[in-house]
């Protein structure tokens, strides 16, 4: 009898932030099915995260990534599983509004959760990955950060900053075996898009060359590839999954 080939991410430990629902859930499922042991992070979606962790043999860990101690808690949970090979910074929020009416608190909340938390997660994860001399970090950015979007000055700024930070970290960490890449979704069917104005979403269908909203799994496939050794010569890149919207 021939043995079935090992899954591509067997023996890898991964953290996926914001994995209880939406794109993060699809990414955790995809990595788990590829053999990784996944820390399924959640902030409020406890039940969904516990169910997902049970399904993929991972561990659900509560942490608000925008808090100072969130990153340490998640990295410690990964180390308890034997290391940290893959970090996916997926947790993100929007607080949309036109600039003239945008409160400082809406600006700051988006910067704290999307940018500062991603920086802290990268810093905490890199400390472990440097010891291993191996690791893949994937940060979720957005088409808004590439092209800008009316009503999303805070969100677009946070995502463009994550992309610039990722290119810098890619240069800092390349010689130590750590890759850092970004995945920039266009419009994907999750609660985040559900919360958007219907008219805006319908209008956007006319300008997406593929004329449809994407599915979370379509983002997860690229994340799985970037996490794997198949992507070993790819670092510092930002790849869009957007049905052609960014063309
Ligand atoms: P979503 O459906 O709104 O879900 C947001 C996720 O982020 C939830 O799992 C939530 O966790 C988590 N989260 C928020 N604040 C958190 C915090 N402080 N600590 C820990 N987790 C936190 O979002 P999504 O559409 O799946 O988006 C996922 C990522 O893709 C985000 O970075 C987003 O900016 C990016 N993106 C999405 C789209 C899109 O079209 N959907 C497009 C471009 C980029 P809890 O539920 O546990 O609180």
Note the pLDDT tens digit of each residue in 139-182.
999 999 999 999 999 999 999 999 999 999 999 999 999 999 99
State the pTM of this model.
Answer: 0.98
Confidence (pLDDT) at 2:
59
Q: Report how far residue 65's alpha carbon sits from residue 18's, in angstroms, rounded to the nearest whole number.
A: 9
CB-ligand 1 contact for 18 (6 Å cutoff): yes
Domains with residue ranges and CATH for the chain: 13-240 (3.40.50.720)
Distance 190 CA to ligand 1 centre (A): 9
pLDDT in tens, 85-134: 999 999 999 999 999 999 999 999 999 999 999 999 999 999 999 999 99
On the question of pLDDT at 190 being above 80, the answer is yes
pLDDT, mean over the chain? 96
Q: What angle do CA 219, 224, 228 make, to 5 degrees?
A: 150
From 42, 155, 187, 225, the catalytic residue: 155
Confidence (pLDDT) at 198:
84
155 catalytic? Reply is: yes
């Amino acid at each position: 009898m021939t043995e079935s080939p090992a899954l591509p991410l067997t023996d890898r430990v991964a953290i996926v932030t914001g994995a209880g629902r939406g794109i993060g859930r699809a990414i955790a499922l995809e990595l788990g099915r590829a053999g990784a042991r996944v820390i399924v992070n959640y902030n409020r979606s406890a039940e969904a995260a516990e169910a997902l962790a049970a399904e993929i043999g991972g561990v659900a860990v509560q942490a608000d990534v925008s808090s100072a101690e969130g990153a340490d808690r998640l990295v410690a949970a990964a180390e308890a599983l034997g290391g940290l090979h893959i970090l996916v910074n997926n947790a993100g929020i929007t607080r949309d509004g036109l600039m003239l009416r945008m409160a400082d608190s809406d600006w700051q909340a988006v910067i704290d959760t999307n940018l500062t938390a991603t920086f802290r997660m990268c810093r905490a994860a890199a400390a472990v990955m440097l010891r291993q001399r191996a690791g893949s970090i994937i940060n979720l950015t957005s088409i808004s950060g590439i092209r800008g979007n009316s009503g999303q000055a805070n969100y677009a700024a946070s995502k463009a900053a994550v992309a610039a930070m990722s290119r810098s970290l890619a240069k800092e960490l390349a010689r130590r075996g750590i890759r850092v890449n970004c995945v920039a979704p266009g419009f994907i069917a999750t609660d985040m898009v559900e919360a958007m104005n219907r008219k805006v979403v319908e209008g956007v269908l006319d300008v997406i060359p593929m004329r449809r909203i994407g599915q979370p799994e379509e983002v997860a496939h690229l994340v799985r590839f970037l996490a794997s050794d198949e992507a070993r010569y790819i670092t510092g890149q930002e790849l869009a999954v957007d049905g052609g919207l960014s063309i």
